[in-house]
Amino acid sequence: MKIDLFTATGTKKGSLELPARLFEARINKGLMHLALVRQLSNRRHPIAHVKHRGEVVGTTKKAFAQKHTGNARRGALRSPLLRGGGKSFGPRNEVNYTKDMPKKMRRAALFSCLSFRAKEGAIIGLENYPEDTKTKNFMTLLQKLPVEFGRRIVIITAGRHRGLELATRNIPRVKAIFAQYMNPEDLLNAKYIIFMEDAVKVAEDTFAKGDSVTEKRTKKDEARVVADKEKKASAAPKVAKVPKTKVASKKPATKKAAKSPKATA
């Protein structure tokens, strides 16, 4: 897949080839949803908290006598049934919202997000950008690029780029992240994704080639299968060769005239 490549001045230079492993993967919307819910849940920090009856500060004295008062039996005043007492089944700040997902599923979800946005045409390429920290200059570049100002824009850089970090932090709805830190939330929420030219290579090395565990395991399994076959072949008993017996050639029988015996008188 190819995308348009622009220079730092906003002029179109040509096209940028995107790796098929990342940007032409199978789109699985269900897996993308799971990855996004996982990311949002892991960032959740519960704040609401109520006290149960053991945490409420108060007296443990019995309100009145157990019998002969005509009232219901009443114990501690910190009971959830009384005003000022503890709360039953209220929210607690020790709730754990952490979710986990296998590495292969996370990679597949990321590839699916990249492929989905590339298919929509939301990804463009940027050749380079100088170490210019002026927000005004970057705004001028955005006005020349085929993006709609005011929408969410994510810029993917190969590494730390001081010019882009300082130039974009004061622009609302514009965010610069490293290629190693791409995530479903930023990719799906952004209206436009600007990839630096060198960031594509870093992303491929990080995620596509970084998934070498499966490749090594596959090669190891193949080598093990070949070794097992060779071992079985060497351990198989050798069959003794049976000597071939020569078959005597049959010569065609010659027909001889049969002599009839003479009759005796």
pLDDT bucket at 189, cuts 50 / 70 / 90: very high
Per-residue model confidence as pLDDT tens digits over 31-52: 999 999 999 999 999 999 999 9
Terminal-to-terminal C-alpha distance of the chain: 117
| C-alpha span between 74 and 76 (Å, rounded) | 7
Contact 48, 95 (CB under 8 A): no
Mean pLDDT across 134-145 = 91
DSSP conformation class of 180? G
Per-residue model confidence as pLDDT tens digits over 147-156: 988 899 999 9
- Domain positions in the chain: 2-44+101-208, 48-62+77-96
* Residue 155 φ then ψ, to 5°: -110, 125
Tell me which of 211 and 91 has the higher pLDDT: 91
Identity of residue 92: R
| C-alpha span between 50 and 87 (Å, rounded) | 7
pLDDT bucket at 230, cuts 50 / 70 / 90: confident
| C-alpha span between 104 and 127 (Å, rounded) | 31
Q: For domain 2-44+101-208, say whether CATH 3.40.1370.10 is its number.
A: yes
Mean pLDDT across 173-196 = 93
Tokens of 198: 């060198």
Tell me which of 225 and 65 has the higher pLDDT: 65
List C-alpha distances in Å: 98 to 36, 40, 43, 154.
13, 9, 8, 26
Per-residue model confidence as pLDDT tens digits over 6-24: 998 888 888 899 998 999 8
**CA-based nearest residue to 166, from 188, 146, 137:** 137
* Range in 125-129, 172-176, 250-254 with the lowest mean pLDDT: 250-254
DSSP conformation class of 264? P
| C-alpha span between 150 and 161 (Å, rounded) | 23
Tell me which of 47 and 1 has the higher pLDDT: 47
Per-residue model confidence as pLDDT tens digits over 70-129: 988 888 889 898 888 999 999 999 999 999 999 999 999 999 999 999 999 999 999 988
Contact 85, 27 (CB under 8 A): no
Beta bridge partners of 125: 5, 195
pLDDT of 239 higher than 90 = no
**CA-based nearest residue to 128, from 200, 183, 191:** 200
> Helix (H, G, I), strand (E, B), or coil: what is residue 4?
strand
Which percentage of the chain shows pLDDT scores above 90? 49
pLDDT bucket at 220, cuts 50 / 70 / 90: low
User: What is the sign of the dihedral through the CA atoms of 111, 113, 117 and 119?
Assistant: positive
